[in-house]
Amino acid sequence: MLLVRLLSRLPFWILYIISDFLFFITYYIVGYRRKMVQKNLRNSFPEKSEKEIRKIEKQFYINLCDYGVETLKLFSIPKAELAKRMLFKDISIIEKYKAQNQSVVILASHQFNWEWLLSSGNFNLPVPVDFVYQHQSSEFFNRFSLMCRTRFGAHAIGRHDVARELIRRKNILRGIAIVSDQYPGLKKDKKYQTRFLNQDTVFFLGAHQIAILTQYPVVYAQVKKIRRGYYEASFVPIAEPPYTREDFTLIENYIKSVESVIHENPAGWLWSHNRWKTRHLKKD
């Protein structure tokens, strides 16, 4: 961890040189998950030519390597610099709910750079932020992720502690953030199946369950890359209570919002994970 801290103190221009080198190794030499990325892109965009797919693929790997060094930088970046680089452009909906003394659920997606979004939300938003996280199998990466996300005061909630923490902190006006487009990894996870990017897809229902338990309004945090090292976040409402267990409008609205952002910037989403595993799909 000491080496990570030392590397994080390098200026951005050196970190981006490192990112360029990592891109060359990852894309041209190692070919890290390239077959997976290509398959995901082809299935998601059947209307695009092979040339267009390769262009998106290449830009994705550039973004992925930038994401790596930018996340590393979270160990030492000053708050003022992160605020300039991760600009929260439109937070009027959050301010509206705060004026009503109303907490809010904030849904995010794996759009670069979601780590900057989660890490800076606690000082960029008018309410403190709790975030729900999944414990990773690697203890190093688990510690790394938590240290980055909590450095500026955000409160971490393990996914197995959600119900208890929601009750314990129910009187605190806050935003509850959760990245909700991941694959539901556990067999016992409650799931929802729908069409997403031209494919049958299962979604983890954690956000749906949190909304039912809290009856908080829900917004989507959409992130847009402006240029290298600079991003904008804006917040759009996607659902308001009351919610019921049988009504999945919230999840459908979230999925449509994520799709819209992906179509606007295809290379900005995390294509390298195996999002479309088939073992949880229901058969017709």
pLDDT score, position 187: 66
Both tokens assigned to 161? 């502690």
Write out the chain's pLDDT in tens, 284 residues.
778 888 999 999 999 999 999 999 999 999 999 999 999 999 999 999 999 999 999 999 999 999 999 999 999 999 999 999 999 998 999 999 999 999 999 999 999 999 999 999 999 999 999 999 988 778 888 888 899 999 999 999 998 899 999 999 999 999 999 999 988 866 667 889 999 999 999 998 999 999 999 999 999 999 999 999 999 999 999 999 999 999 999 999 999 999 999 999 999 999 999 999 865 566 65
Half-sphere exposure of 34 (CA within 13 A, CB side): 16
pLDDT score, position 185: 67
- Residue ranges covered by each domain of the chain: 86-268
Which residue reads 């369950």 in tokens? 209
- The model carries a pTM of 0.94
pLDDT score, position 3: 82
Residue 212: Cβ-neighbour burial (10 angstroms; 0-12, 13-18, 19+): middle
Closest C-alpha among 127, 105, 280, 87 to residue 192: 280
pLDDT score, position 65: 98
Which residue reads 């200026």 in tokens? 11
Strands 129-133 and 155-158: parallel
Which residue reads 């904008």 in tokens? 232
